[in-house]
Amino acid sequence: MIKLSYLLALIMVVCLQSCNIFGDNCEDYACFTPPQSFHFELINSQEENALSDPAFDTNKLKVIRLEDEQSLNFDIETINEIEIIQVQQIGWEEGLKNYQFLYEDNALFVIRVDAESVSEDCCSFTQYNEKSLLNAEHTIVTNQAIDNHYRVTVDY
């Protein structure tokens, strides 16, 4: 009985070790993490949330990639009782890209993002080499609940 237990233990050890016999073969356990979304809290000069203002019509808001003038989809979400614009499409394309936010075709600001696809330890993910917001006063909000959170002062 003891020999059978040792034999079963040996088989289990061999089976568990066989997953990494051939080095960094990622076929069986590769993973992918999509780019983190970008979040924009628009505030007016009185530091009130523009998206909560009845005078601010979200239907007049547009986000375009300047390189090819393609429109991006965005969502208006309430996170921690704050209305925020969430853009999920930023970061999916590698290289330096510029995204402009417009209200009634008037430029509000530009976010410049340099994204790179990176693979480490059998997982691929997006690394941001540059993230900069241009043409508007803003702060980067560090909040564990929201990544890439920008509070941007806008005139509308």
pLDDT tens per residue across span 58-102: 999 999 999 999 999 999 999 889 999 999 999 999 999 999 999
At 11, the pLDDT band (50, 70, 90 cuts) reads: low
The verdict on residue 124 lying in a domain is: yes
**Token representation of residue 149:** 């959170």
User: Looking at the DSSP assignment, which residues form a beta bridge with residue 64?
Assistant: 71, 100
Asked whether residue 95 is assigned to any structural domain, the reply reads yes
> Does 31 map to a domain?
yes
Task: Specify if 18 maps to a domain.
Answer: no
| pLDDT given at position 48 | 95
Terminal Cα distance for the chain, rounded? 81
Q: Please state, for a pLDDT cut of 90, what percent of the chain lies above it.
A: 71
- Total structural domains within the chain: 1
Distance CA 137, CA 147 (A): 19
- In this prediction, residue 7 carries a pLDDT of 46
Structural domain of 82: 26-153
pLDDT in tens, 127-144: 999 999 999 999 999 977
In a domain, 2, yes or no: no
Is residue 100 assigned to a domain?
Answer: yes
Q: Encoding tokens for residue 105?
A: 């075709």
